[in-house]
Every structure is written in C-alpha cells, then in structure tokens.
Amino acid sequence: MRIFAVILLFITLCSYLPGSAQEKAEVEILNANAILTDPDIVDADRLVGDVRLKYRNALMRCDSAYRYPNGDFEAFGNIAITQGDSIRVFGDNLFLERNAKECRLRNNIRLMDKELVLTTDVLNYNFETSVGSYFDGGKIVSTKNKNVLTSQEGFYDSKTEFFHFRKKVVMKNPEYTVKSDTLKYSGSGEIAYFFGPTWITARNSSIYCIDGWYNTISEVCQFRKGATITSGSQFLEGDSIHYRGKSGIGEVFGNVLIRDTTSSYTIDGNYGWHDEIQNQSLVTGAARMVQYFDEDTLFLHADTLRAVPDSLGKTLIRAYQHVKFYKSDLQGKSDSLTYNETDSLLRMFGKPVLWSDGNQISGEKIDIRVFDGKIQRMDIFNQAFIIAEAADSAWNQIKGRDLIGYFTGNKLQKIHVIGNGQTIYYTTEKNDGQNKTTGLNRADCSDVMIYIVDNAIQRINLISKPKGALNPLRKVESEDRYLLGFSLNEDNRPTTPEEIFDWNE
C-alpha cells in the first residue's frame, strides 16, 4: 500500500526554485539569437530565438523571453527547464515576479522526474511562504508504482514538508483506488492523512472513513468516524479501525459490528481484533452474535466471541465466559460454547442449561444439531436432567447418564435415556379449569424411551429391568418428589433478547 510515494514529486519541483526572499539570485542569459529593446513595444529586454537561461542550478530554454528592469522575468513558447540529469519541466509560459516573490508557470505543464510525471495548466510557487500549488486540476503519474493521483487543487509547504490535495482527490493503482475530499501527506514522516469522506477500494475489499491516517513506511494505518471495511462477504465497522499491514493485525474500537452476508449472522461489541493471515477474529465488551433464520433470530452473548476457520474453511464460533442466548423457542446458558457453521452443531460446556418451551435441560455437556434454524436433535452427556412443570409446584423429571432428545418443529417429541434412567412424573386431573396433581409415578430403569405430546409426557417405555410404582400423592413424602440433583434455574432464563447480558450466579 505504498500509495502515496508519488506525492514526493512536489519536493523536486521546489528544489530548483528560489529558496528565500533575501537571496538576490539573478537570471543569467546563456544565449539568445537577439536581444532587443523597444520601449514602444514593451519596457523590457526582449530575448528572441534559442533563448537559454540559467537560474541558480536550473537551466531553461524557450522561444522568447522578457527581462524587466525591476528584475521580473517572463518566458514564452516551448519552455523546457532541466535540473541535474533527472528533472525536466515543460510549459508554455513562465513569469517570475521578484517583488511578489512568486513564480507562475502556465499551460501544458509537465514536470518529469525519473519515475514521476506531473501535468497541469497552472503551477505557482511563493518564495515567502515556501508553498507550491496548483488549483485548476493536476495529475501525477508514477511509472514505477503505476500510481495515478488527480485532484482539483494541490499544495506543497517546503517548510513543514507537508503536501495537501483537495477537491476530487483520486489515487488509482491496478490493485486499489483511493477517493477523498482532502488528503494531507507528510514528506518527512511519509504519513498520509485523510480528511472528509474517503473510499479505498481493492480487488476484494473496500474501506470507508471520514478521518484517518496511513504510515507508508510501517504500513500502519488508522481510520476513524464511521470507519468500515468490506472484504468479500465480510463487513466490519467501528468508531475507529487500527491496522498493521505487515503483520495483518487489525483492531476495532467502539461500536464494533461484523457482518457476514453468506452466513446471515452479525457480531457486535466494544472491541474487535482480527488476524488477516490466520483469518481469526474476536470481539469483547458486551459481545453479541445475532444469527438470522427465516422465521426467528438467535441472540447470543459471551464475554469473548472468537471466530476461527475449521478444517473445511467454514467459520467456527467460540464463546467464552458467561454465555447466554435467547431464541423465541429456545434459551440457554453455559460457561462456554462453540458453533460450527459446517454442520450447524452448537456445543455447550461448563454447567450448561437449556430451556425449551416448558422444559429445563441440563448436563455436563450438551450438543444441539440445527437445520434451517430448527432443532433436530439434542445430546446431553453425563448427569443429564430434564425438568418440566406438571402443575403448580409439581415437576416432572427425567434423569440419566446420557440423554438424546428428538425434535419436530422445534418441539421436543421423544427422549431416549441411556444408562441409569430415572423418572418422576405426576398424574393430574382437571379441577376448576386447572391441572391438579393426584399421584406420582416413580420409575427406575437402565434405558427409558419417553414420548411427549404438547409438552406433556404421553407414554413411557421402560426398556430393561424396570422398577417403579404409582402412589397417591398424599402418600408421597416431600423429599421423594425430587430426583437427586434437582435444581431450577429460572432466574437465569432470558425472556427477552436484552436479558442475555444479565447473569445470576
């Protein structure tokens, strides 16, 4: 991204012009076919034919010239100025005004260095302010870097070594294009500054900002005020973006937003980090992922969200610490979580708890397989536990070593308990329009198959070595109404997307 090296052309422009108002350098006439003086035509010496002049260390040729008594000087036709063996300047008219301390070059101007060419019709240099400028459009071409810079106005301050380009600034290269309202460049530090709306476009990415800077040596840059980067399907924005080109590391500060159009998700937060080489990124500070489905939306929060590529190049999302998510038909919390875009597998670790309709599901690890935004299957590993309210203060319970839940239309339809199966479910009857518990059925069995309709247990199949009993509720002691490990976590269940940021230990 050495896109501003071409701007150094202005330094060469000023090197052959007068350096200060106090120096009394004179124009030296090396040759003229004739020197004419006629006050009736012009109050000046007229140099005509093959005019060759020297001013300091610059040589000039032209068709004709005027040398005025007050020291002003004017040249006409096929002006060619050379300095050393590299710098050449061409134009139609040149006027050197000693009292105004200004040199003006006009029409068909070309300033050529070994690798750089400036073309314009108006070029001024003020000896007192040490500022060179054009204000009627200019074009700079670098044959080495294939860079082309155009702007309506351009300025160079030789004292501060700053370049200024304004109005319709466009920098073109085969690999990128820069468009800006105002561009400022430090010749000594080789740092470019952007002011006003700026667009940088490349083959696969584009950058927008209103304010920013770029160090052409270290390849470090920063974009501020509505800064955005678009790369393929990835879109990144923030209050400011800091990028280190050599290492490919980018940081985003404030109101971070990452969007992927192909995956239909966004990630936002207060701070973002991205490794371009490894294609890894993370977001922290109120970090949130929003996954859009056809009929619903998933909102997920964690202290840190990290995105890395899997073995197939698809995105793998890793969420760490205080993970919580909300979907209208599914909510959950855990210490950490992963989501793999390849197989749509959501995996929860560290005290995971899920809520689906009226069911609370927990275990040491939970895997959820999703297709088109709908749950197909859920695997709960080690200490699997499902709790569902049967009636007021009465809870159906299913417990086992492992558990598989089968879903249809995001509703739990069948549960397979694998190993150490235990169940408690209540028999109920309607009383004044409400479910009243009448009995408690307790069953223990190694493997259990449970069928559910409308969120209520319809049938239980005890597959091997069953043991159980149905007792009237009045004969069941209170401590026998709960399986070991029973624990409700309703205080942590998010009921709105905003509650994913609330955490109760």
The backbone torsions φ and ψ at residue 137, rounded to the nearest 5 degrees and listed phi first, read 95, 130
pLDDT, tens only, 493-503: 999 999 999 88
Contact between 318 and 301 (Cβ < 8 Å): no
For residue 24, name the pLDDT band (cuts at 50, 70, 90).
Answer: very low
pLDDT of residue 356: 82
What is the spatial distance between Cα 285 and Cα 272, in angstroms, rounded to a whole number?
9
Q: What is the pLDDT of residues 372-395, one digit of tens each?
A: 767 889 999 999 999 988 877 789
pLDDT of residue 416: 92
Residue in the block written with tokens 């006629």 = 38
Q: What is the pLDDT of residue 189?
A: 67
- 3-state DSSP of 205-224: EEEEEEEEEEECCCCEEEEE
Q: Does domain 1-172 have CATH number 3.40.190.10?
A: no
pLDDT at 127: 66
Average pLDDT for 53-80: 85
| SS3 assignment for 82-144 | EECCCEEEEEEEEEEECCCCEEEEEEEEEEECCCEEEEEEEEEEECCCCEEEECCCEEEEECC
pLDDT at 77 (0 to 100): 93
The pLDDT assigned to 10 comes to 30
Q: Which band of pLDDT confidence, cut at 50, 70 and 90, is reported for residue 21?
A: very low
Contacts (Cβ under 8 Å, ≥6 apart) of 133: 123, 124, 125, 126, 153, 154, 155, 156
pLDDT at 86: 62
Residues in the chain: 505
Of 103-112, 155-164, 232-241, 286-295, the least confident: 155-164
Predicted local confidence at residue 221, as pLDDT: 85
Segment 13-24 shows an average pLDDT of: 37
Under the banding of pLDDT at 50, 70 and 90, the label for residue 1 is: very low
Read off the DSSP letter of residue 497: G
Sorting pLDDT into bands at 50, 70 and 90, what band is 370?
A: confident
Q: Give per-residue pLDDT as tens, 307-340.
A: 888 878 778 889 999 999 999 888 999 999 998 8
At residue 15, φ and ψ (nearest 5 deg) are: -70, -25
Q: pLDDT at residue 187 above 60?
A: no
pLDDT given for residue 243 in this prediction: 83
Q: How confident is the model at residue 27, as a pLDDT?
A: 65
> Is pLDDT at 413 greater than 70 in this prediction?
yes
Every domain of the chain with CATH number 2.60.450.10 lies at 1-172, 344-505
Range name among 363-367, 399-403, 446-450, 458-462 with the lowest pLDDT average = 458-462
- Residue 490 tokens read as 């309703």
Percent of the chain with pLDDT over 90: 23
pLDDT-derived band at 404, boundaries 50, 70, 90 = very high
Average pLDDT, the chain: 82
Residue 281: its pLDDT value, please?
A: 86
Beta-bridge partner residues of 195: 182, 211
344-505: CATH topology: lipopolysaccharide transport protein A fold (2.60.450)
Question: Which tokens is 491 given?
Answer: 């205080």
According to DSSP, the β-strands at 359-362 and 353-356 are antiparallel
When pLDDT is cut at 50, 70 and 90, the band that residue 5 belongs to is very low
Joined together, the tokens standing for residue 487 give 């624990």
Residue 465 has pLDDT above 50, yes or no: yes
